[in-house]
Amino acid sequence: MPAIVLIGAQWGDEGKGKATDLLGSRVDYVVKFNGGNNAGHTVVVGNEKYALHLLPSGILTEGVTPVIANGVVVDLEVLFHELEALSARGVDVSKLQVSANAHVITQYHRTLDKVTERFLGKRQIGTTGRGIGPAYADKINRVGIRIQDLFDENILRQKVEGALDMKNHMLVKIYNRRAIHVDEIVDDLLSYAERLRPMVKDTVLELNRALDDDKTVLFEGGQATMLDIDHGTYPFVTSSNATSGGAVTGSGVAPNRIDRVIAVVKAYTTRVGAGPFPTELFDESGEFLRSAGFEFGTTTGRPRRTGWYDAPIARYTARINGVTDFVLTKLDVLTGLDEIPVCVAYEVDGVRHDEVPVSQSDFHHAKPIYEIFPGWKEDITGARTFDDLPKNAQDYVLAVEGMSGSRISAIGVGPGRDAIVVRHDLID
């Protein structure tokens, strides 16, 4: 099973980093195919805790070749900062490959991200402020700067001029900010070029050849299905395809080469930033999930919104991504609850919807219909087989599996690398 896509099933922070790390020792390549440093993956290895943003989590496993593919937007300052921080902690980062076709995030993207959010006022998305949306907007508008442009100063200058032309009018006339000089941007980007040069590769060729040679390639999604630009809760989404299709366009590996699609799903739901969230809790149960699950953003430190498990969302994710396996994470966080509600359908204006409604406004008004499951009090963090779990926890997993459209192949029972129950091998 050489090509595996791993994506988020909900609104992000499901524990993708940990799941990637779990597979790490058995894969040859880990590829980031979408997003940028808006992602935040916390991986706990023994007593060490790593917070990764731009780099794929697979970088923590010795021997793995990490790849930043064409679909990613790269903030070079962040890239080198993360590489240096990992090197200082003894992680070998020398194998990293960066696609010549990936786009770069510059200072004007970060500035625009912040001023447009401010301008939106009440309608703001609650972005991470990292310049992600403006960088992808430039890509689509065909005024983006790609990694390969850094190696030809003339071309780079022309492209930056082109990109800044309209933006400076906007910054000065609409947003009341100072104009950004072409030289400022060009000099900044050029300052990274020589350090970057050895990492820049034709990653499409590299990855396809790796698959030809029967190597195992893991495509690690940033963000998640409900934040996907096409399939998420638009406009409260990120600006890339975080679904399995994004792994194909974002890496240049064809869809018929993908063997398996793993979706990471939390045993409850969280969301950072604005937008609809039917099972959101505003009471002490929500506070319980936030404190027991330590639900604070890895990237921005914002408290995450919390709610119960939403089965129609899991089914939606299974359908859109072609999910072959779910990894259900953070089951341990539910320990201690007397009862655990699971959303099985919605009610919109008196009408029952068994699936996620296509109308955004219906989804905004959707009221969850819950089925209630009995909780458990036993500590499950030491469980390593399904049989180690208390009966009520087993029943919860089986019930959720029955509603979610694919099998649950692994269950997270704690943040540590080994705190996992594997029911079906995720690679063979």
Write out the residues near ligand IMO by the rule CB under 6 A: 8, 11-13, 38-41, 125-128, 130, 132-133, 222-224, 227, 238-239, 272-273
Instruction: In whole angstroms, give the CA distance from residue 261 to residue 252.
Output: 17
Contact (CB, 8 A) for 5 and 260: yes
Instruction: In whole angstroms, give the CA distance from residue 165 to residue 247.
Output: 33
Instruction: In whole angstroms, give the CA distance from residue 96 to residue 77.
Output: 16
Give least dist CB 272 to ligand IMO, A. 4
> At 36, which amino acid appears?
G
Residue 38 contact partner, candidates Mg ion, ligand IMO, ligand GDP, none, CB within 5 to 8 A by sort of partner = ligand IMO
Q: Which two tokens stand for residue 4?
A: 């595996």
Contact (CB, 8 A) for 335 and 379: yes
Give least dist CB 84 to ligand GDP, A. 21
Half-sphere exposure of 228 (CA within 13 A, CB side): 23
Among residues 78, 105, 82, the alpha carbon closest in space to that of 93 is found at 82
Q: Which of residues 320-339 bind Mg ion (CB under 5 A)?
A: none
Name the residue nearer to ligand IMO (CB basis): 8 or 312: 8
Residue 206 contact partner, candidates ligand GDP, Mg ion, ligand IMO, none, CB within 5 to 8 A by sort of partner = none
Contact (CB, 8 A) for 150 and 193: yes
* Site for Mg ion contains 21 (CB under 5 A): no
Catalytic-residue membership of 353: no
* Site for Mg ion contains 310 (CB under 5 A): no
Residue 252 contact partner, candidates ligand IMO, ligand GDP, Mg ion, none, CB within 5 to 8 A by sort of partner = none
Q: Which of residues 46-65 bind Mg ion (CB under 5 A)?
A: none
Contact (CB, 8 A) for 100 and 146: yes
Angle, CA 162 vertex, CA 161 and CA 163 arms, to 5° = 95
Name the residue nearer to ligand IMO (CB basis): 114 or 423: 114
Catalytic-residue membership of 41: yes
Q: What is the three-class DSSP state of 402?
A: helix
Express the helix, strand and coil content of the chain in percent, nearest 5 each: 40, 20, 40
Residue 125 contact partner, candidates ligand GDP, ligand IMO, Mg ion, none, CB within 5 to 8 A by sort of partner = ligand IMO
Q: Which of residues 275-304 bind Mg ion (CB under 5 A)?
A: 298
Name the residue nearer to ligand IMO (CB basis): 128 or 383: 128
Q: Tell which one of 8, 10, 13, 104 touches Mg ion (CB under 5 A).
A: 13
Catalytic residue among 13, 228, 310, 325: 13
Name the residue nearer to ligand IMO (CB basis): 206 or 220: 220
Catalytic residue among 21, 41, 53, 332: 41
Tell me 366's DSSP state. Answer: -
Name the residue nearer to ligand GDP (CB basis): 43 or 69: 43
Instruction: In whole angstroms, give the CA distance from residue 133 to residue 194.
Output: 27
Q: Which two tokens stand for residue 407?
A: 């099998």
- By CB under 6 A, name the binding residues for ligand GDP: 8, 12-18, 39-42, 44, 298, 329-330, 332-333, 412-415, 419
Q: Tell which one of 8, 36, 40, 312 touches Mg ion (CB under 5 A).
A: 40
Give how far Cα 295 sits from Cα of 14, 96, 232, 304, 377, Å: 10, 30, 21, 5, 21
Give least dist CB 140 to ligand GDP, A. 25
Chain contacts with Mg ion (rule: CB under 5 A):
13, 40, 298
Catalytic machinery residues: 13, 41
